[in-house]
Amino acid sequence: MKQLLIVLFLSLSLSALTQDKAPISVRTYAEYGYNYTWGNYGGLAIIGNFPINSYFNLEGGINTNTSNVHAINTRAIVHFPLEVGDLTLENRYLYRLFLRNNTNDLSAAVLVGYTANHIKASLGFYGRVYGNIYWESHNESVANIMEPFNLIYNIEGQLFKQEHNWNLGLCVSNHDDFQIERMYKPLFTLRGNFIPVEHFNLLAEFVCKPVGIFHGSANFYGIYTRLGLIYTW
Amino acid sequence: MVKKITYSLIALVLTACDIDWIGFVAPTSDTTEQRFEQSLAWNEEHGYVSLSVPLDNYSFYVGTDIHTETTVRNITSLITTLRNDSNAYFGLLTGDLVNQPNAFHNLMPAFTFNPITQARNDTLFACVGNHDLYFNQWEDYKYYWGTSSYWFDVKTPHYQDLFISLDTGNGTLGSTQLKWLRNILASKRTNYRHCIVYTHTNLFKEEESQFPTSNMTLEETFELTDLMSKNNVTLFLQGHDHNREVLLYKNVLYIIVDAMKDDAKNPFYMIATCNETIDYKFIAL
């Protein structure tokens, strides 16, 4: 029985690895932002996407900013192509170092996503743990705080179909490449892209982060903008 | 979770007349930054309070989320008990004083000294909560309380303690209030035995007790908790969540006090006593 399972696993793996796969791509961008806590800040990010086959890809990225906050994000995404769009299952881990606050946080998420002509949407759950980077306390203080259950969501409408050589999208989400906010902290994003020549895709994003919406007393908190490109081999 | 969302949506519809729907897209009163400027201007004009108490180990009362509509039963009980407690000298109210338009006019008579039932006229200090901002009620709050961002100190025979009130009615301190808080802590903290900070919006989100009301952003949560630890703040008091939470994190004691509104299932207030440390107990209403 064990041998049969091994043979089955190997044959599935081999068949997966020999599938046609999408090319590797690298996304990089610079960001400028302002929020009430950090003031003005700038940042850089680079994210690599590595398709294993046409059904499965891995993504990894790093981000650093002038507020002394740094992040690593990883994603594993399984695609289930349907006639009416692409269904995905994603497992995501985000680790951030808030060196300015002697705090780090780790979030783990599982999301189900759907992409069709003009729509991208995803919904899932995540948990978070955060605490001191350097633990110096000698009393009964807790070292880490758990936020065990949270919703993670994203819904985006786009002007043209996904394959169009330029596009504009409006998005409501509580996460992006390097942050996963609490479920009641939506980020509002205006996003655009343009493919000037083969291999290159230029990107621009403008994000507004309000607070207090679910308090019933909304207020400005922060904005950030990102400019960059995707290079696809 | 689905049940919780359903109940929350039903509750939202049932209490719709108490909700200022504008607040889902824009501030319902002045913005955080505007209110802070107004609070500072009021402080400049009226000065900062300094209380003298005859005991080193004095007590103070803490109440939150009164959500006054027409009745003032629980807050009257807190005030009367405080003013007859020979060891307590003042009270703190950490926001959501009212629940509907014009309710400040129903609430405020409860603070009037009653010499028949009360031994002393102890002061109560307050900060603003999100419900106090609905329907532009910041104007009413300002009329009665003047300021939501301020500090006062308490002088005992051998020590002095610092109390700082923060306006987080929108779920953020804003930029200028954060700078002000940093300056106050940097310039004053070392002169005091205890430092107690109180505000409305809770910092942590360990469970979904009052889904879906929100708290602060993660950036602000991490910034504030680090600032409190670096400045050796003794106690950080919050409301908003309606459910008690006691957490010692990075050597700072964070307490969310239960709601004390008249129709709460289990209304409580808290009595804190300043000794070498701060002791606390919760009193059922």
CB contact under 8 A, A211 and B171: yes
Residue A12 confidence class, pLDDT cut points 50, 70, 90: very low
Complex ipTM value = 0.89
* Residue partners of B191: CB distance under 8 A and separation at least 6: B160, B162
Predicted pLDDT of residue A154 = 96
Match 């819904």 to its residue by tokens.
A155
Rounded Cα gap, residues A120 and A86, in angstroms: 9
B127-151 mean pLDDT = 95
Helices vs strands, H then E, count in chain A: 1, 14
Q: Do A49 and A76 form a contact (C-beta atoms < 8 A)?
A: no
Count of domains for chain B: 1
pLDDT above 60: residue A222 = yes
Rounded Cα gap, residues B50 and B44, in angstroms: 15
Percent of chain B with pLDDT over 90: 81
Looking at residue B268, which CATH number applies to its domain? 3.60.21.10
pLDDT above 50: residue B13 = no
Predicted pLDDT of residue B37 = 97
Token pair recorded at residue A145: 């705080």
* Residue partners of B230: CB distance under 8 A and separation at least 6: none
Question: Which has the closest alpha carbon to A219: B184, B96, B220?
Answer: B220
Q: Do A115 and A155 form a contact (C-beta atoms < 8 A)?
A: no
Supply φ then ψ for residue A88, to 5 degrees: -130, 155
CB contact under 8 A, A132 and B250: yes
Q: What's the length of chain A? A: 233
pLDDT above 70: residue A178 = yes
The beta-carbon neighbor of B226 closest among A38, A102, A213 is A102
The residue of chain A with its CA nearest to that of B209 is: A149
Domains parsed from chain A with CATH numbers: 2-232 (2.40.160.40)
Q: Supply the range of the domain harboring residue B82.
A: 2-284
A44-56 mean pLDDT = 94
CB pairs under 8 A between A and B: 135
Rounded Cα gap, residues A211 and B217, in angstroms: 7
Rounded Cα gap, residues B128 and B168, in angstroms: 7
* Residues of chain A with C-beta less than 8 angstroms from the C-beta of B27: 212, 217-219
Distance (Å) from the C-alpha of residue A78 to the closest C-alpha of chain B?
A: 27
The beta-carbon neighbor of A184 closest among B1, B214, B247 is B214
Residue B14 confidence class, pLDDT cut points 50, 70, 90: very low
Rounded Cα gap, residues B232 and B235, in angstroms: 9
Considering only A133-147, A219-233, B200-214, B219-233, which range has the smallest mean pLDDT?
A: A133-147
Rounded Cα gap, residues B95 and B102, in angstroms: 16
CB contact under 8 A, B32 and A145: no
B258 in the Ramachandran plot: left (φ > 0), alpha (ψ -120 to 50) or beta? beta
Q: Do B241 and B222 form a contact (C-beta atoms < 8 A)?
A: no
Residue A137 confidence class, pLDDT cut points 50, 70, 90: low
Considering only A97-101, A182-186, B73-77, which range has the smallest mean pLDDT?
A: A182-186
A103-126 mean pLDDT = 95
